[in-house]
Amino acid sequence: EKSGYKHFMAKEIAEQPTVLGEAVDHYISKDGKGVSFAAEGLDFTQFDRITMVACGTAFYACLTAKYWFEQLARLPVEVDIASEFRYREPPVAPRTLAIFVSQSGETADTLAALRYMEGKAAKILSVVNVPESSIARESDVALPILAGIEVGVASTKAFTCQLNVLALLALNAAHARGEISDAALGDHLAALRNLPGLMNHALGASDTIEALSRELAKAQDILFLGRGAMYPIALEGALKLKEISYIHAEGYASGELKHGPIALIDENVPVIVMAPRDALFDKTVSNMQEVMARGGKVLLITDAEGAKQAGDDVWRSVILPEIPDLLAPILYAIPAQLLAYHTAVAKGTDVDQPRNLAKSVTVE
């Protein structure tokens, strides 16, 4: 079943270009120029705001999508963890689209949050991997992420396939609300169709990452930094690493570093900087220099030009292909997953069945 891979997680990481490519083709129109959810009854001109609720990795997919919905479609988005949302009993404005993201579709807190929204939100949409799950069945609209069965407890391909569906929804919303032109939509969709090829390139960094992960495995604490839509990817990288390697890791927004976490930096704390060459690149580089000035060991994940601009003082670099800003979070998820995987393998932990964790959290 592992098709020659040592772990399900390795197989599921490697499958991403294929499953994501198939999912892109499933959702984009035959001519490649449009994306519509009209058949599912979703019309983004009917909503004034979005509330997204999920747990764990699915929550980080929602945090990423907030940047997309707000920047592309100019729709305000609130994102919350299901276990907080449900007990907070927040007021719900009319014309709210509620989106619940869950790989399993059975997460107890997410399901309870969905039930809280029944009769309050204008529409309940779920983004799930299991179409016959409780969350899918209880939604007005359920969109499958089409990742295929995910066995490893650490979510990998489900995350990138969740991001794919959320990016398509944000593009559809932006187009329907007149925020982007037909041509701009076409360009974004062409980039999305190109993404599986770039993901294959990113997977090619596996050997480099394996070698440096043997060093990361000696660390007690590791920080991940990112700005903009890369901030949730920093959070996801930290979650993935702690979940399977049991190394303490935290993700921070790069700009937040100097408000506390920089006190942690010394030569024993590797700092992983997720820095595609987007509009915020220069700011991230200056945060990185603050880390290096305090003796921190920086692992920079960027493209070839980004590595050149960052200079020679970084401890290690992982080079990814250039990528349009919108899709950077999906591509940069791959090295984050590979870092967690190879570090866990180097430590000899149980990658597919980490201690104390279950694939589906059906208790509160």
Applying CB under 6 A, the site for ligand M6R has a residue count of 16
Tell me how far the alpha carbon of residue 104 is from its chain's centroid.
16
Q: In angstroms, what is the minimal distance from the CB of 244 to ligand M6R? A: 8
Q: Which is nearer to ligand M6R, 317 or 337 (CB)?
A: 337
Q: Which of 10, 23, 55, 117 binds ligand M6R (CB under 6 A)?
A: 55
| Rounded Cα distance, 71 and 160, in Å | 20
Stretch that binds ligand M6R, among 86-94, 104-112, 249-257, 332-340 (CB under 6 A): 104-112
Q: In angstroms, what is the minimal distance from the CB of 55 to ligand M6R? A: 4
Tokens matching residue 299: 């692992």
For the question of residue 11 being annotated catalytic, the response is no
Closest CA to 361 of 120, 170, 112, 140: 112
Q: In angstroms, what is the minimal distance from the CB of 106 to ligand M6R? A: 7
103 binds ligand M6R (CB under 6 A): yes
Residue type, 213: S
Q: In angstroms, what is the minimal distance from the CB of 66 to ligand M6R? A: 17
| Rounded Cα distance, 93 and 66, in Å | 18
58 binds ligand M6R (CB under 6 A): yes
Q: Which of 12, 243, 303, 352 binds ligand M6R (CB under 6 A)?
A: 243
Binding characters for ligand M6R, 123-162, by CB under 6 A (x = yes): ------------------------------xxx-------
| Rounded Cα distance, 339 and 219, in Å | 13
Q: Which is nearer to ligand M6R, 124 or 361 (CB)?
A: 361
Q: In angstroms, what is the minimal distance from the CB of 128 to ligand M6R? A: 8
| Rounded Cα distance, 50 and 70, in Å | 10
Q: Which of 17, 56, 296, 306 binds ligand M6R (CB under 6 A)?
A: 56
Q: Which is nearer to ligand M6R, 147 or 219 (CB)?
A: 147
Dump the DSSP string for 215-235. HHTT-SEEEEEE-TTHHHHHH
337 binds ligand M6R (CB under 6 A): no
To the nearest 10 degrees (0 to 180), the angle between helices 182-203 and 157-176 is 170
Strands of the chain, DSSP E: 49-54, 77-81, 96-102, 123-128, 141-144, 221-226, 248-253, 270-274, 297-303, 316-320
Which residue among the candidates 120, 283, 347, 359 is catalytic per the annotation?
359
Q: In angstroms, what is the minimal distance from the CB of 364 to ligand M6R? A: 12
Strands 248-253 and 49-54: unpaired
254 binds ligand M6R (CB under 6 A): no
Cα separation of the two ends of the chain: 31
Catalytic sites, residue numbers = 359
Residues that bind ligand M6R (CB under 6 A): 55-58, 102-104, 107, 110, 153-155, 239, 243, 360-361
